[in-house]
Structures are given as structure tokens and as C-alpha cells.
Chain A
Amino acid sequence: MFGVYFCNYLEEKGLLSKEQSAEVIDKCRKSKVKLGLLATELNFMTQEQANEVNKIQQKEDRRFGDIAIEKGYLSEGQLSLLLKQQGDGYLLFVQAVTEADLLDNDEIQKILGTYAIDKELSQEDVEAIKSGDIDREVQVFLNKSDLSQFYKEYVALTARFLVRFVDANVRIDVPVKVDNYTYKYKALQGFIGDKSFNTMFAGDDGALTDIAEAMLKEEMGEVDMDTLDAVCEFLNMNNGLFARDEYEKGISVDMLPPEMELESGEVNGNVYKIPFFVHGKELDLIISE
């Protein structure tokens, strides 16, 4: 969602406080209706059909609209209408920020120009971020990194999985290669096979808790072994989808049992840090070889 990227920039520039930024994002979030809900409200789909598509979506890395069209529940025209009705993320942001008297339209346009320059974004990149399409958003940042295509695909899939299960408005930043990464807790799963590498989630306690809560559908307290177990299970399901996609391309990768520890440690070697932000909290996806 455009709002989470631009609000973060406005915060960096001191133009919005953290609270104002959270308020704007919350307003944008509430204004965006889920596609399935919209489709049933307009009687394009029955509740049963929407539930069926949601279930398929949990197991397959595909969009709601694409599945609904394939099933014959929606026509291309209906989907296009639904997407328009769902609301343009950029316009929702402009509406939220102007209604709250934080900035006017001219100011937004002016800041948008400096945002592109400061973040080294092309007009095309800005349009991709404004599009609200997670794939296009993520590609802008992945293309600024030296990640291989194989890992870019892994990160893009993880972004979609986070959007689906944890936060519809997840934000990503440019992946960076680091010499080592110090983690507070270990929640890791390795792959072996044609390509061997480790994947791990680390970062703010709150981000790990958010994943656990999404998995267990219950409120969690401080990070404990149950939290890490749920994070590892999330990683395991995500990695399973990736392994299946790669298998279909002729690349065989098997998942190893997840590893978790409540103690801090360090990852060394070829390490990539991919910063995600869920509900504003940093969640680092770590890929190491």
C-alpha cells in the first residue's frame, strides 16, 4: 500500500509524527474493502464461492481474482469493476492525509517529487508503489539489490504470504548483503537439494508476535518458545509453497526440520537481510548460504 511507504518517508522527514502516520495508515486500511466481501455484496459471487476461493488461496500462491475467474465465478469485466470499487491506494492515502489536515494536495505532489529523488526511484517505480500491487511494489526494491533471481522469487513469494496471513499492508525495503547478522531469537529453516540455504525470521519482538498471533488466532504475550514455534510453522508453510513451485520448474529442494532458540546468536557467510515491516514493526527475513 502506497500509504505505508509514503508515511514512512514523511516520518523520516519529520513531516508526520509516528502517531499521525499510524492514524493515516489505519484510515487507509479501513477504507479498503476485501475483494471477496465486495464481490458478495454486489452479488457477483455467493458466500460459499468466496469461502472456496479463500481456502484455495491459503494453499496456492495465487490472487483471489485469478482463482475466481478460473473457477468461472467472476468475469474479467466484473473483476475490473471490483478492483475499481475496492479503491485506489494512492487516492485513499491522499484522502486520509488531507481530511486530517496534515498536508494538502499541492504539498503531497511536491513531497512526492523529493521522495522519488531521495529514494532513487524512477517515475515507473513510483507508479508501481502507487499501484497497490504487492508484486510490483516488491520488485521495485528487489531490483535495487544484488539478490539472484532464485532468491528474488523466494522473497516475492514470502511477501505475498505475509500479505495474505499477517498484514495486508506489509512494506519492504531494499535487501542488503551483510557480513553477519545478530539475532535475538532463532526461528530458522534450512533447504537442501539442488540449492542449499537457510531462511530465518528475526527482528522486532512485536513482528514475531504478530506472525504467531496470525497463525494461532490468539493473543500472545512476550516472545517464548510457542511464539517461535508458530513463526517456524509459518516459515515451514511458506517454504513448502516455494519448494513446490521450484519442483515444478525442475529444481528439487527439501525442507529441513525448523530450528528455534530463545537465545541470541549470529549468522555468518553469505547473508542477505530483507527488511519487511508488518504493522510498522521490522521483520527481517534472513537468507544465508
Chain B
Amino acid sequence: MAKILMVDDSRTSRKILKDILIDAGFEISGEASNGEEGYQMYSEQKPDLVTMDITMPILDGIGALKKIRSDYPDARVVMVTAAGQKSKLIEAIQCGAIDFISKPFDNEKLVEIINKALG
């Protein structure tokens, strides 16, 4: 069972995402509420995949993505985004994010993207 680390400052967003992922048979290895915490948890847990929100306090999603990919080049990170963050998404993909899922979530599409990202 693939282990997923969720990084998002919104508990609501984490709860909605967690329910979808668990229903689809994934295991949640941990939940972080900012990019710095996400990086720390990634280092400890080495999950199979990270879902990374973009707008977060302390360290945003792009910063955390860069930090994780710099230390762990094989890390698989899927960005989570609200609409209207096109330029940041492009930056994230250039920094090594595999794909992105947008809010509000489309359950089937989300699971399809996660499965594809896990290869």
C-alpha cells in the first residue's frame, strides 16, 4: 500500500483529501501544516508520494518542493492548488513536481493522478 504524506495548512483541505485517499486504498503516513514541517516529515518517513499545497505559511509549497527535491531527487511530489495559481504551478513543474490536483477536488481524477504519479 502506497504511503502518502499530505502537506497543507488547511485542516479542511487535509480532511477532504485524506478521506478520498483512504477510500481509494492509500495509507496516510503523516500530515504537515506548512512546508518546513513537510520537509522534516519527509526526511523521517520517506513516503512514496507527497501532496503539497502551494500557499502556506512559514515555508510555501514551492520552497518545500525545492528543499525536498534537493535532498531527495527521486521524491514524488504532486502539487495541490486552488484555481488562479497558474504561474506558481508552472514554477512547481519546473522544480520537479510530477503533476497537480486542483481544488475543489474531483475524486476520480485525483485518484487517477495519484496512481499515475506513483507509476
Contacts and interface: CB of A to CB of B under 8 A. Distances in A.
Contacts of B81: 240
A257 B55 contact: yes
Q: Which size class do B's interface residues fall under? A: 20 to 34
Contacts of A241: 82-84
Interface in B82-106: 82-88, 102-104, 106
Contacts of B16: 215-216
Contacts of B104: 58-59, 237
A255 to B, nearest CB: 6
A255 B84 contact: yes
Interface in A100-153: none
Nearest to B34: A257
Nearest to A252: B87
Contact of A226 (B11, B83, B102): B11
B82 A255 contact: yes
B55 A256 contact: yes
Contacts, number: 74
Given A229-B10, A233-B13, A240 B83 contact: yes
B84 A229 contact: no
Contacts of B60: 257
A239 interface: yes
B12 A233 contact: yes
B11 A247 contact: no
Interface in B63-119: 81-88, 102-104, 106
Interface of A: 55, 58-59, 212, 215-216, 225-226, 229-230, 232-233, 236-237, 239-247, 252-258
Given A59-B83, A255-B85, 20 more contacts: A59-B104, A215-B12, A216-B16, A226-B11, A232-B12, A233-B12, A236-B10, A236-B55, A237-B82, A240-B82, A240-B85, A242-B84, A243-B85, A245-B84, A247-B86, A247-B87, A254-B88, A255-B84, A258-B9, A258-B10
Interface of B: 9-13, 15-16, 55-57, 60, 81-88, 102-104, 106
